[in-house]
Amino acid sequence: MSPRVWEASGHLEAFTDPLVECLNCHQRFRADHLPGFHAPQSGHDGTETVDMQAAPTCPNCGQDRFTEPRNFHLMFKTFMGPVEDDASVVYLRPETAQAMFVDFPTVQQTSRKKLPFGIAQIGRSFRNEITPGNFIFRLREFEQMEMEYFVVPGTDEEWHEYWIAERLRWYTDLGIREENLRLREHGPDELAHYAKRSVDIEYRFPFLGWGELEGIANRTDYDLRRHEAASGVDLTYFDQERGKRYHPYVIEPAVGVDRAMLAFLIDAYRVEEAPSAKGGTEKRTVLALDRRLAPTKVAVLPLSRNEQLVPTAREVFDLLKPHWMCDYDDAGSIGRRYRRQDEVGTPLCVTVDFDTATDRAVTVRDRDTMAQERVPIERLVEHLRERL
């Protein structure tokens, strides 16, 4: 985007984190991530004063002496075109949000929407994080999905509540356990400069404790006004019912896709006791992903790599392939192949056996209950569609 967009949004001036260096081992840290440090978590507004009085210790060497915090800019800067001069400086976007503000009148007019309505977008964002890590929790290149939901001023608080409840329901509906989720209200000293109120949805990560998955902010009309002032383009909305022009208020759910994926994986992963083929029980690893999140929906497995079974199994695979992401596996014992599919979260397995040639039916096996059901091939697509 034009760098002037980042100027208007406040990012050029204030998208910073407080950086400190340990005076003993010279490692660098984000001050508000140091153990023992109690201060506003990055509000990214650059104005917060960082209080080092709580005497945090260095996670690397244990000393407690640091340089004074300095504001470290999080946007990646680069040059567009062949000449490296000031005129061609551009920035990788640190969030997807701003495009939806500057495009607001175009989207509203071409889609002829009335308030309330939302513009949503998914895509890459980039931040020069001081301390990336914790698996894919904090990355320098990550995926965001954000929505700017434009509402009539005065209805914003109600819509904020609506989206908080709706977003929480989205996680539990897709399988995250309620006890692993919580809402966290931002305190006044932590609110971003654009927000009237902000609530985070947090997940209890086993390696980290509570960590943010998503922020849901009431951004008021801050952004539309800022972009209007900087560009001179009218960013108001004409409300026909009320017969007036105004700047809509905005509710913004902002999700980190990588973090959400990590939470879905952790919540779905379990190791349980299951009946063993040799009698007794054995450990079974299951990725109990919601069927909508499971990357592969169905696996087709011939009972053995037999010349009578393979052509029919291939025929069944070809029948299902146009409908779902399917896997075909004929390597190893059938028990091992079931376990392999359990471990990658495939909800259903279809087994072709020696009876298939005579009864034109297959066995459908459920990942979670391990129950098996005989289904005629001619009804298979319909049967799987009902269950998926």
Distance CA 183, CA 215 (A): 10
Q: How far is the CB of 310 from ligand GAP (least distance, A)?
A: 44
**In contact, 323 and 350? CB cutoff 8 Å:** no
Residues facing residue 302 across a β-bridge: 352
Residue nearest to ligand GAP (CB): 256
**In contact, 146 and 96? CB cutoff 8 Å:** yes
Nearer to ligand GAP by C-beta: 220 or 363? 220
Nearer to ligand GAP by C-beta: 30 or 337? 30
Q: How far is the CB of 259 from ligand GAP (least distance, A)?
A: 4
The residues that touch ligand GAP, with contacts defined as CB under 6 A, are 95, 97, 127, 129, 138-139, 142, 144, 146, 212-215, 254, 256, 258-259
Nearer to ligand GAP by C-beta: 263 or 352? 263
Nearer to ligand GAP by C-beta: 261 or 357? 261
Closest CA to 296 of 262, 329, 271: 329
| Cβ-based burial of 39 (10 A; exposed 0-12, middle 13-18, buried ≥19) | buried
Residues facing residue 299 across a β-bridge: 327, 349
Distance CA 259, CA 139 (A): 10
Nearer to ligand GAP by C-beta: 73 or 138? 138
* CA distance readout (Å), 338 to 279, 294, 348, 378, 383: 17, 15, 9, 23, 20
Q: How far is the CB of 95 from ligand GAP (least distance, A)?
A: 4
Distance CA 160, CA 195 (A): 12
Nearer to ligand GAP by C-beta: 73 or 337? 73
Q: How far is the CB of 98 from ligand GAP (least distance, A)?
A: 8
**In contact, 345 and 294? CB cutoff 8 Å:** yes
Q: How far is the CB of 158 from ligand GAP (least distance, A)?
A: 21
Distance CA 16, CA 128 (A): 10
Q: How far is the CB of 240 from ligand GAP (least distance, A)?
A: 30
Q: How far is the CB of 313 from ligand GAP (least distance, A)?
A: 41
| CA–CA–CA angle 195, 199, 201 (5° rounding) | 140
Nearer to ligand GAP by C-beta: 12 or 388? 12
